[in-house]
Amino acid sequence: MLKHHYTARNINFQGLLSSRCCIIITLSTFFLSCGVPNNPYPKSEQSEAIYYSTFRAEPKHFDPAVSYSSDEYRFIQQIYEPPLQYHYLKRPYELIPLTAETIPEPRYFNADGERLPSDAPAASIARAVYEVKIRPGIMYQPHPCFAKTDNGDWRYHNLTAADVKGFTEIKDFKITGTRELIAADYVYQIKRMADPQVSCPIASTLEDYILGMEAYSDALVDGQKEPPFPGVEVVDRYTYRVILKAKYPQFIYWLTMPFFSPMPQEAIDFYKQPVMAERNITIDRFPVGTGAYRMESLISHKEIVLVKNENFRVDRYPSIGESNDREAGLLDDASEILPFISKAVYKLEKESIPRWNKFLQGYYDNSGIPSDTFDRVVAFDNTGDPAASEVLKSKHIILRTNVAPTTRYFAFNMFGDTVGGYTPEKQKLRQAISIALDYEEYIEIFLNGRGVLAHNPLPPAIFGYEEGENGINPYLYDWDALTNRATRKPIEEARKLLAEAGYPGGQDSKGNPLIIAYDNTLNTAGGTTVLTWMRKKLEQIGITMESRTTDYNRFRDKVKKANFQMISWGWHADYPDAENFMFLLYGPNSKALQDGENAANYDNPEFNRLFEEMKNMENSPERLAIIRKMNRLLQQDAPWIFTYHPVTFGLSHRWLKNYKPSSVGYNTLKYRRIDAELRAENRQEWNQPVLWPLWVCLGFLVMGTIPAAITIWRRERGT
């Protein structure tokens, strides 16, 4: 009996020891799992040349007739192909053919139909004809809209609910087809843009230029099935013609934009079936193009995957570029066949910190720089030029900067009783506010120096932009000949102008304080800081700023109804031409009156006259002289506070080759190349498992089992 009792105790000690061993094994497994890198991709992809990037919000539109956002263009311009594109390497940007055989040269005619020379004045031109010849042999991506049965009938054009049960993506259709790109596809797309049911955002602009477009649109509204559209026509299988009502040299730039991409009618017929719309399988989500890539997968709020278009033609990497491109390795792949990357995976990353950390781990191939990490990753040399910090250099991360063709500004409501108007007093009021809001300081504090000061609407690299003394705003700046730079007028000058405007010390003749309302969407902690800065700057000259913060939809409604005093706004170039910025202040483009892009509702007859003269001119000394006059009018009237042009700071890992930022052309993925072997090596080096906590824990556990083991050993010897 005693022996039996002792054996039971022995078993308990052994159970204790066994239990501790189980704890050791369990914790070992836990710590080992913690030590494994948080690689978000399958192990099978490790050696593949896949491009990895992110997006912050799911794009709303992939239909090229509707999309008008850079966040959408970065995807659809890999898929859709307008006839022209921008040279990938050359700066200033240069137009080159994409699907077109050559750059179309306009032919001009007068009202009698007589041919005019290319240098004919705009006033004499009644018709401008662009004839676009596309290259034969270009094929569409594999897509079910082209699939046919053995009898030649459309396989998926008469679908029932049972046929698509459980379908959520285009890849659920197992059979695909293709066909050759033809001129009629481009004509069909232009007609789609004129269709009010499509809601093309540039339709009203194009109606001003394309012959018969407005009448065609009106006829569709009236119910006509196939109304005439004399402004666009098919010439032959590979040629189409666009006819404009006037000379408009900037039209050639429109031919680089997704709006003018081809659309096969088979795709629209396929997607407009009711059972497809019910499943949200539409042209607005699943594109059909001829580009280097096609959409493989779209998982809402999670992931977008592009893969190489199996039917993509032979296209080659450029063999010439800028003077320093060869040294930068951007010509190492000259004349090689495109694309280099077979697959691109874009992950939804709403928060900047995890996105940034994964980039540093090597899980994303390129990245922007979050503001709160800027000082740690960017250093400035003795000349003030930015360079990668030692932290980035240790990982061979490359820093590239680029001044975006973008202008940021504050717009005054020119219809407003207080800030609007064109009298000298109103001009001086707006000039005083412009001086007080010190945007040199703003760029340093809030942008980490990532901005070029603006003196007029035109950003660098746009014809009409001038540096030096000729380019300054003389109402806000003086030119210092000793330092060869512009200096902002002192705050005393702003106070003086405010007094001359009728508000000495920030009060009107009755002693009432001058209150300026600023409508905005700055509803974050960072936005609150900006508002505080603005308020203090205006208080220096006696102005009280009233912040009216609201959501974006309400804000847009206020702007449309001119229900504001001052707002902040911005514009990114559709194409690199002065007209695309100056039209933002052209009177007939008033936001409140015409739903145009003139948010300030500025309407100066002399500026309007100069704009009409300038807009259709070729770049020349004569055009530059007109632009200078327009800038002086804007600087004096001050309907805008000219603030800055953003400078983008982009980072990329050394395994991402041929990476050159582009601000107007987004079909750049096909030029990039991934060194997958180098990436795999760096990922492994940067993400070694952290094992020391495991060994420490194991040590404590082993030490904890020693007393139990000794006790068992002693009792066993006693038996």
- Count of the separate structural domains present in the chain: 3
Digit-coded pLDDT (tens) for 328-360? 999 999 999 999 999 999 999 988 889 999 999
Of residues 458, 490, 489, the one with CA closest to residue 471: 458
Instruction: Give residue 604's pLDDT.
Output: 98
Q: What is the DSSP string of 666-692?
A: ---GGG-EE-HHHHHHHHHHHT----H
Encoded amino acid at 193, one letter: M
Digit-coded pLDDT (tens) for 466-524? 999 999 999 999 999 999 999 999 999 999 999 999 999 999 999 999 999 999 998 88
- Same domain? For 581 and 694 the reply is no
Q: How far apart are CA 344 and CA 347, in angstroms?
A: 10
Give the end of a domain, one of 648, 666, 701: 648
Strand partners, 115: 109
Of residues 671, 571, 674, the one with CA closest to residue 96: 671
Confidence of residue 694 (pLDDT cuts 50, 70, 90): low
Encoded amino acid at 313, one letter: R
- Same domain? For 580 and 707 the reply is no
- Same domain? For 426 and 571 the reply is yes
- Same domain? For 412 and 540 the reply is yes
- Same domain? For 247 and 123 the reply is yes
511 and 503 in contact (C-beta within 8 Å)?
no
- Same domain? For 163 and 25 the reply is no
Digit-coded pLDDT (tens) for 213-261? 999 999 999 999 999 999 999 999 999 999 999 999 999 999 999 999 9
- Same domain? For 606 and 713 the reply is no
270 and 144 in contact (C-beta within 8 Å)?
yes
- Same domain? For 28 and 115 the reply is no
Instruction: Give residue 363's pLDDT.
Output: 97
Retrieve residue 301's tokens. 């709020």
Main-chain phi, psi angles of 348, to 5 degrees: -70, 120
- Same domain? For 7 and 70 the reply is no
Q: How far apart are CA 289 and CA 189, in angstroms?
A: 12
3-state secondary structure of 695: helix
Q: What percent of the chain has pLDDT over 70?
A: 90
- Same domain? For 471 and 594 the reply is yes
- Same domain? For 461 and 574 the reply is yes
Digit-coded pLDDT (tens) for 356-377? 999 999 999 999 988 788 888 8
* Residue partners of 300: CB distance under 8 A and separation at least 6: 58
79 and 287 in contact (C-beta within 8 Å)?
yes
Digit-coded pLDDT (tens) for 588-631? 999 999 888 999 999 999 999 999 999 988 899 999 999 999 99
pTM here?
Answer: 0.83
Instruction: Provide the domain limits for residue 435.
Output: 406-648
Q: Which of 11-15, 86-90, 91-95, 308-312 has the lowest mean pLDDT?
A: 11-15
